[in-house]
Amino acid sequence: MSEQIELKSVTLQDAIEVTEELSPADQLRLIATLSDRLSQEVEETLPLPSVEVPDQEALEQAIALYQQEEISLGRAAEIAGITRCELMRLLKARGIPVTVQVPLAEEMDKRIAAFRARSR
């Protein structure tokens, strides 16, 4: 998204119209960004239940592998036996940065084009 749009108040229809002008890859990035920001706001305003970890040793191993970038966030959650959101909360509580890997716009455009071609 190279163009900055400054809006003070926007309707849902306005947002949809602006979004439709973006490439499919930029639309996905926008969705991911909005989802992340909404998650942060919800987390800051609502009390979240504590995370029950079935296997503390598996959790520690998963976190170590995640920090070494050996596995993804989703795989680490799977190893720990908890959800991705629960793992993200635990990482945040420990001060461990959460990284989400997003493919380049060109790569996403290729994937979307290939998907659409298969769907026809």
Q: Are 39 and 112 in contact (CB under 8 A)?
A: no
Q: Which domain holds residue 70?
A: 12-112
Q: Are 63 and 76 in contact (CB under 8 A)?
A: yes
For residue 119, tell me if it sits in a domain: no
Q: Which of 103, 106, 118 is nearest to 23 (CA)?
A: 106
For residue 106, tell me if it sits in a domain: yes
More confident residue, 14 or 67: 67
Q: What is the mean pLDDT of residues 78-96?
A: 91
For residue 54, tell me if it sits in a domain: yes
Predicted pLDDT of residue 41: 76
Q: Which of 17, 19, 41, 43 is nearest to 31 (CA)?
A: 19
Q: What is the mean pLDDT of the chain?
A: 82
Domains identified in the chain, total number: 1
Confidence of residue 3 (pLDDT cuts 50, 70, 90): low
For residue 79, tell me if it sits in a domain: yes
Residue 67 has pLDDT above 60, yes or no: yes
For residue 2, tell me if it sits in a domain: no
Residue 7 has pLDDT above 60, yes or no: no
For residue 97 the two structure tokens come to 């940065």
Predicted pLDDT of residue 12: 76
In angstroms, the CA 60 to CA 65 distance is: 9
pTM of structure: 0.51
For residue 62, tell me if it sits in a domain: yes
Residue 6 has pLDDT above 70, yes or no: no
For residue 90, tell me if it sits in a domain: yes
In angstroms, the CA 9 to CA 14 distance is: 10
